[in-house]
């Protein structure tokens, strides 16, 4: 056997050991990025839904119609825990009055290894939007 073949034979297990050491950290990083992307996506959808609800409330829409607008705008998220608050709730609103729409939703971290790092699972996302009534 040549020296090169002997060298390769002796180092064959090194790659397996390196893989065993690095793979868990790599998977933790990849799944952490995926979960962060999921939470960020839900936050962006909830923020856009609050903005659309505030716009609907600003043009003298009733509270039930504002809630329906928010639920339609947040169609891509799990709406099981979606909560919408309109302040002030009563329409008609006076011109120039600030109308606040607050949207709250929860996002469940699904990866078991990542959920260990979040003591409050599901993560609660809040977003509010304020517009002046027209």
Q: What is the pLDDT of residue 3?
A: 77
8 band by pLDDT with thresholds 50, 70 and 90: low
Strand positions, DSSP E, the chain: 83-87, 98-107, 123-132
Q: What is the pLDDT of residue 129?
A: 95
Write down the mean pLDDT value for the chain. Answer: 87
Q: Percent of the chain at pLDDT above 90?
A: 42
Q: Percent of the chain at pLDDT above 70?
A: 94
The residue behind tokens 């009733």 is 62
Q: What is the pLDDT of residue 46?
A: 95
Give me the helix-helix angle, 3-10 and 12-58, nearest 10°.
50
pLDDT single digits (tens) 42-79: 999 999 999 999 999 999 788 888 989 999 899 887 76
- Model confidence, pTM: 0.80
Q: What is the pLDDT of residue 10?
A: 66
Whether 92 and 60 have beta carbons less than 8 Å apart is answered as yes
Whether 123 and 78 have beta carbons less than 8 Å apart is answered as no
1 band by pLDDT with thresholds 50, 70 and 90: low
Q: How far apart are CA 84 and CA 68, in angstroms?
A: 10
Q: What is the pLDDT of residue 26?
A: 94
Q: How far apart are CA 112 and CA 75, in angstroms?
A: 26
Q: How far apart are CA 74 and CA 84, in angstroms?
A: 11
């Amino acid at each position: 056997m040549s020296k090169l073949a002997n060298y390769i034979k002796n180092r064959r297990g090194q790659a397996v050991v390196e893989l065993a050491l690095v793979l868990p950290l790599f998977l933790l990083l990849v799944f952490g990025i995926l979960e962060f992307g999921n939470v960020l996506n839900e936050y962006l959808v909830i923020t856009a839904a609050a903005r659309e609800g505030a716009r609907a409330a600003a043009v003298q829409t009733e509270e039930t119609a504002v809630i329906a607008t928010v639920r339609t705008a947040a169609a891509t998220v799990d709406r099981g825990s979606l909560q919408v608050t309109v302040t002030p709730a009563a329409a008609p609103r006076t011109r120039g009055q600030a109308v606040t729409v607050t949207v709250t939703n929860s996002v469940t971290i699904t990866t078991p290894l990542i959920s260990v790092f979040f003591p409050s699972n599901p993560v609660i996302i809040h977003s509010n939007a304020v517009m002046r009534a027209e």
